[in-house]
């Protein structure tokens, strides 16, 4: 048994690894052993296990040297790389086809009567568009006072704030929403050093109506004049694919160093949660 860093204070057991917990300690979702967690990489309010280990010095503690990739000639390496490149291109084409299907999804009218509490005063869902045509919302879990979802924290740590301006130039607005009261959000933003837009849906049915319930969700909305439509939503591994750090690590020899990954024997790995 191991304990998560401050922010959740919940013990995690290997084999059945919850992504996020409610304040009462009830897991929002569990996964069977040997499969990838829904959004790998988070263990506590301060970020992933790997980062926590670096900060507490565990990565510098004496450990057996990790195994190394096989050493081959330049010609053999180029051949292996060419074979992997062919697979990568096949995946890219599949992702392009999937993106084309997303662009052809129908949409459904969405209620615009919610009132969000924001640092600049109450706002409607339409107001959150800030005059643009599209809105992307990340629903950050509400785990109660002084309890913060480690997965949502890890995801938010990976939102590149400068990129939000580029999205805005394309006509897309980003906002993070949570059922946490605004005062709690503002306190946690200050603690984490976040500057991205973050508003409260406390007291509304917005999370439930989006389909997030008590969990986390990425939703995409489109406006047509005063009318708002839901066009797309995703959660679990669909959110994971947006996390910069995770996917950069996927390009390195040792990957995310998490125990759900299919890695060669001797590769450094640690529990995703713990």
Per-residue pLDDT averaged across 254-267, rounded?
Answer: 94
Among candidate residues 227, 242, 248, 91, the one with its CA nearest the CA of residue 154: 242
Residue 63 pLDDT exceeds 90:
no
Q: What is the pLDDT of residue 162?
A: 93
CA gap 52, 21 in Å, rounded: 19
Rounded CA-CA distance 72/49 in Å is 32
Residue with token string 């919302």: 137
pLDDT value at position 104?
A: 97
Q: b or e along 198-234 (b: 16 or more beta carbons within 10 Å of the residue's beta carbon)?
A: bbbbbebebbeebebeebbbbbbbbbeeeebebbebe
What pLDDT score was predicted for residue 272? 79
Tell me the domains of the chain and their CATH numbers.
108-240 (3.40.30.10)
pLDDT tens, position by position, 198-247: 999 999 999 999 999 899 999 999 999 999 999 999 999 999 999 999 99
How far apart, in whole angstroms, are the C-alpha atoms of residue 100 and residue 60?
Answer: 46
- Say how far apart CA 101 and CA 148 lie, in whole Å: 35
pTM higher than the cut 0.85: no
């Amino acid at each position: 048994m191991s304990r998560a860093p401050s922010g959740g204070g919940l013990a995690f057991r290997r084999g059945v690894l919850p992504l996020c917990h409610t304040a009462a300690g009830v897991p929002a979702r569990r996964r069977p052993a040997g499969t990838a967690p829904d959004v790998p990489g988070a263990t506590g309010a301060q970020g992933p296990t790997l980062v926590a280990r670096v900060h507490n010095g565990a990565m510098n503690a004496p450990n057996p040297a990790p195994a190394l990739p096989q050493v081959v000639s330049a010609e053999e390496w180029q051949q292996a790389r060419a074979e992997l490149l062919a697979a990568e291109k096949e995946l890219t084409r599949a992702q392009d086809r999937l993106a084309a299907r997303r662009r052809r999804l129908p949409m459904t009218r969405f209620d615009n009567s919610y009132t969000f509490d924001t640092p600049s005063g109450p706002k409607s869902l339409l107001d959150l568009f800030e005059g643009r045509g599209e809105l992307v919302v990340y629903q950050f879990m509400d785990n109660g006072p002084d309890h913060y979802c480690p997965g949502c924290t890890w995801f938010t740590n990976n939102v590149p704030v400068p990129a939000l301006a580029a999205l805005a130039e394309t006509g897309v607005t980003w906002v993070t929403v949570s059922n946490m009261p605004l005062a709690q959000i503002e306190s946690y933003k200050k603690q984490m050093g976040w500057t991205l837009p973050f508003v409260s849906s406390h007291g509304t049915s917005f999370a439930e109506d989006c389909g997030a319930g008590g969990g986390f969700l990425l939703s995409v909305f489109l406006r047509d004049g005063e009318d708002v439509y839901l066009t797309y939503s995703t959660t679990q591994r669909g959110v994971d694919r947006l996390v910069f750090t995770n996917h950069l690590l996927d390009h390195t020899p040792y990957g995310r160093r998490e125990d759900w990954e299919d890695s060669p024997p001797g590769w450094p790995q640690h529990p995703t949660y713990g």
